[in-house]
A = this chain, B = another copy of it.
């Protein structure tokens, strides 16, 4: 039993993204301040983004079915969380219907909100979550936990055929840093805390969690754990699976309480069963996570490499070296060109510098500047250690014909890193489908996988008869391999269902991952999107074992059914 006071945050104070798209309702992407972008998109996707786009839809255009929560059940739920924390207005139901995948947003634009939840519940404490779970099981209702709603693997939507009451459990009120154990470098935090909330509470006391996924502003600790998240500084701080030591989870078997040991040999790891469980075992209410003192110095340096293969070899060697960078990232040539194309208007001086750099690269370094690759490497720690690491990395970079180009591009990247997802809605307004797919594999298989996946995506575009784009970066390094993160975009052709075309491209990429020795997802989880590849990834017997666990704990399919395995 936890002794936390119930949260005093009101449901109305819980932040949500645009119901129809990504991110902060006040923020959107614009191309006008990026002089090269229009031409770039025109050239590569054959779309003129200066032409007026289609405005996102109005909530009035959506038809959703009436809520099927029986009055008696509703009364019970209200008895637990209070009338004001059981919501069933249209906006609340639609906001909790999906995550934020391309498919989700396209479906909403088509007026299809799927099997919208019948009610959204906002609990204030673990005790309330326990009561809600018991009531849901007794009433044979479906419970779907909801964090920031940023998932793009279909982990948040109810099954279309579901006839039982569907309850979305929004954890947003439970967002407190409960306790820091300073000598142990551990912080106990409620699962519903959004990235900025928890990081600010930690920063105020001199600490950081060091977990910064692209979704950081709109995802929660519980969501990170439930989907095995990874962040852009995971090279140093570890993935969420490493960071998470203790857990409290409300399950049909009772409250699972995993103590925050640094390591233990208590049989198969229940901690690692909860990680990635996407609500199928229960509701995560709090976690005890590793935290670190805010480093004295932090910087991100930019480098250029003559090719992606050379850059990847450098990252491989850096990962085995005594340097331990916080970020290791290298973009392929396409993503490098895209980065340059999103630059804002540059001054005359900057333009001259840039011209001089181009000349230097071509004449003195023999670069083909259309093939060069931009890399960011991050360093943290004492000034001496940052200096030492930079030296070690610098030597490795040089030995692969790379060159350092200073810290300004890295600063820009660091400031803008959470803005990129906004471009998707901008493109969608203009009829362009853009999405991401990521994988991980061992160092020896990385470049063949990369080349093969690009080839397969382009083959899919060819088959559709459209001009498509695919770009990639290596986003995290490990001792034995790395994560590759692909972004793809194309304009669906007329006369054929657009989502069917999206499926074709996405399928080509995912099947490429599997066929070329990658995993189906490094940190976006399984949900429903990646289910078709699970047996090919962890083997049919692996899936059978996972099913034994999930179905055994949730015998009547009340906990986010249909996710991970059928």
Name the residue among A293, A381, A479, A524 with the largest chain B CB count within 10 angstroms.
A479
**B256 A542 Cβ-Cβ under 8 A:** yes
**A263 B552 Cβ-Cβ under 8 A:** no
Q: When each residue 205-219 of chain A gets 1 if its CB lies under 8 Å from chain B and 0 otherwise, what string results?
A: 000000000000000
Cβ-based interface call for A28 (8 A): no
Q: When each residue 523-565 of chain A gets 1 if its CB lies under 8 Å from chain B and 0 otherwise, what string results?
A: 1111000100010011111101110111011000000000011
**B564 A476 Cβ-Cβ under 8 A:** no
Cβ-based interface call for A463 (8 A): no
* Complex: chain B residue closest to A540, CB-CB: B254
Q: What's the minimum C-beta distance from A540 to chain B, rounded to whole angstroms? A: 6
Name the residue among A257, A265, A445, A540 with the largest chain B CB count within 10 angstroms.
A265
**A539 B267 Cβ-Cβ under 8 A:** no
**B185 A320 Cβ-Cβ under 8 A:** yes
* Complex: chain B residue closest to A319, CB-CB: B185
Cβ-based interface call for A272 (8 A): yes
Cβ-based interface call for A442 (8 A): yes
Q: Given A258-B538, A545-B256, are A265 and B552 also a contact pair (CB < 8 Å)?
A: no
Q: When each residue 230-273 of chain A gets 1 if its CB lies under 8 Å from chain B and 0 otherwise, what string results?
A: 10000000010100010001010111111111111111111011
* Complex: chain B residue closest to A237, CB-CB: B479
Q: Which residues of B contact A262 (CB under 8 A)?
A: 440-442, 478-483
Segment of A33-41, A119-127, A514-522 in the binding face: A514-522
Question: Among B254, B316, B526, which residue has its beta carbon within 8 angstroms of that of A541?
Answer: B254
**A538 B441 Cβ-Cβ under 8 A:** no
CA distance A480 to B230 in the complex (A): 20
**B259 A519 Cβ-Cβ under 8 A:** yes
Q: What's the minimum C-beta distance from A394 to chain B, rounded to whole angstroms? A: 15
Question: Among B263, B521, B550, which residue has its beta carbon within 8 angstroms of that of A522?
Answer: B263
Cβ-based interface call for A458 (8 A): no
**A480 B290 Cβ-Cβ under 8 A:** yes
Name the residue among A292, A518, A537, A545 with the largest chain B CB count within 10 angstroms.
A545
Name the residue among A257, A264, A525 with the largest chain B CB count within 10 angstroms.
A264
Of residues 349 through 384 on chain A, the ones whose CB sits less than 8 Å from some CB of chain B are 381-382
Segment of A43-51, A99-107, A274-282, A397-405 in the binding face: A274-282
**B184 A270 Cβ-Cβ under 8 A:** no
**B519 A261 Cβ-Cβ under 8 A:** yes
Of residues 182 through 239 on chain A, the ones whose CB sits less than 8 Å from some CB of chain B are 182-186, 227-230, 239
Of residues 146 through 162 on chain A, the ones whose CB sits less than 8 Å from some CB of chain B are none
**A266 B545 Cβ-Cβ under 8 A:** no
**A545 B442 Cβ-Cβ under 8 A:** no
**A277 B268 Cβ-Cβ under 8 A:** yes
Q: Which residues of B contact A481 (CB under 8 A)?
A: 184, 261-262
CA distance A263 to B481 in the complex (A): 8
CA distance A526 to B565 in the complex (A): 30
Q: Given A257-B541, A539-B258, are A276 and B270 also a contact pair (CB < 8 Å)?
A: no
**B265 A276 Cβ-Cβ under 8 A:** yes
* Complex: chain B residue closest to A445, CB-CB: B184
CA distance A482 to B183 in the complex (A): 12
Question: Among B292, B476, B544, B546, which residue has its beta carbon within 8 angstroms of that of A268?
Answer: B546
**B186 A258 Cβ-Cβ under 8 A:** no
CA distance A356 to B53 in the complex (A): 86
Cβ-based interface call for A408 (8 A): no
**A548 B548 Cβ-Cβ under 8 A:** yes
Q: When each residue 437-465 of chain A gets 1 if its CB lies under 8 Å from chain B and 0 otherwise, what string results?
A: 00011111100000000000000000000
**A253 B544 Cβ-Cβ under 8 A:** yes
Cβ-based interface call for A322 (8 A): yes
Cβ-based interface call for A385 (8 A): yes
Q: Given A263-B239, A546-B267, are A539 and B256 also a contact pair (CB < 8 Å)?
A: yes
The 8 A-B pairs at the shortest CB distance, nearest first, are namely A272-B272, A254-B541, A262-B478, A184-B442, A548-B552, A262-B481, A228-B265, A253-B544
Give the B-binding residues of A (Cβ under 8 A): 181-186, 227-230, 239, 241, 245, 249, 251, 253-270, 272-278, 281, 290, 292-293, 316, 320, 322, 324, 381-382, 385, 388, 440-445, 476, 478-483, 517-526, 530, 534, 537-542, 544-546, 548-550, 552-553, 564-565
